[in-house]
Structure 1
């Protein structure tokens, strides 16, 4: 994953728990990096190690850490780093979700080495939509759930997100129902 992801985890920890906790997370992962370069790719294992270390240090489940990080990514990192791009996604939550499959195509222009997930949407209703998540990376469904919840908050549209299909249960991808 790109350094911007790891930097966002650092920012989340420092903002919510303080610099000392970030230093403790770094010690747990044996991280010997003073700062992350946003535009540089890092091994995915580092990002997973950071999430696990935050989980242990904060006494939270990894799923709760990833969900919180997903919300943080939308409400802080996304708005600060990709504000115009986020705003171009649509005027409301439903429009953004419908346009979501094209979002990573735009991001790939910024990060050419990106291995993005793929999103598809189906069953578009007045107050709900199904979001299909395909990725080579495993273990990120809680992060995606957090992203979807964060988008609801970004648009001032409280959303409920339920998991309808799960690779852990033998499905070939995750399907989330987003309702508002």
Structure 2
């Protein structure tokens, strides 16, 4: 994963739990030799997984909880780190944004040459619901998708209710989420 992901984890931990907690997590993850992460540099996925595992241990939280919190945090973090216009270009509502997420990742891939993004396929089931098919080469990140959807709900002032209906970790070939959403403001202007 790119350093931007690890920087966001660091930022979230420091913001909500303090610098000392971050240093403890880094030590538990055996990453104390890394002073900082470079956003545009590719790092081994193992580093990110080790940070999450160490955060679970230090914070006394389950990985699912941390990944959900991180997914939600990621939406705000990337907008503040200079990717706001790029996010804006992907759509002005949850439904439109999700339809364009693979295109957004393709555009990001122009800057991040080693990017291995997940794939999101949206199937609108009604005007205010969709089925989201999530496929990734990485294991165990479905909870992060739930957090991302909640973060996008906040971004678009949209109430979201998410139910995972298919689980890759239980043998399905990919994860599927049923999403019901309700815009609190009109975005079709």
**Both proteins in one fold, TM over 0.5:** yes
CA distance in 1, matches of 2:172, 2:82: 34
CA distance in 1, matches of 2:168, 2:90: 28
Task: Say if 2:120 and 2:132, in contact at 8 Å, map to a contact too.
Answer: yes
Shift of residue 60 of structure 1?
0.7
Task: Say if 2:161 and 2:180, in contact at 8 Å, map to a contact too.
Answer: yes
Q: Equivalent residue for 2:86?
A: 85
Task: Say if 1:8 and 1:73, in contact at 8 Å, map to a contact too.
Answer: yes
Q: Equivalent residue for 1:72?
A: 73
The yes-or-no answer on 1:37 pairing with 2:18 is: no
Shift of residue 79 of structure 1?
4.1
Matches within 5 A, 1:94-105: 94-105=95-106
Shift of residue 110 of structure 1?
1.5
SS of 1:149 mapped into structure 2: helix
Q: Equivalent residue for 2:170?
A: 169
SS of 1:139 mapped into structure 2: coil
Q: Equivalent residue for 2:16?
A: 16
Higher helix share: 1
- Structure 1's unaligned 5+ residue stretches are none
Higher strand share: 2
The yes-or-no answer on 1:115 pairing with 2:105 is: no
For residues 84-136 of structure 1, what are the alpha-carbon distances to aligned partners after superposition, in whole Å with 9 as ceiling and x for unaligned? 01111111111111222312111101101111111111134211111111111
CA distance in 1, matches of 2:29, 2:50: 6
Q: What is the alpha-carbon root mean square deviation over aligned residues?
A: 1.1
Q: Equivalent residue for 2:61?
A: 60
SS of 1:110 mapped into structure 2: coil
Show structure 1 runs of 4+ deviating over 3 A.
Answer: none
Q: How many residues align?
A: 180
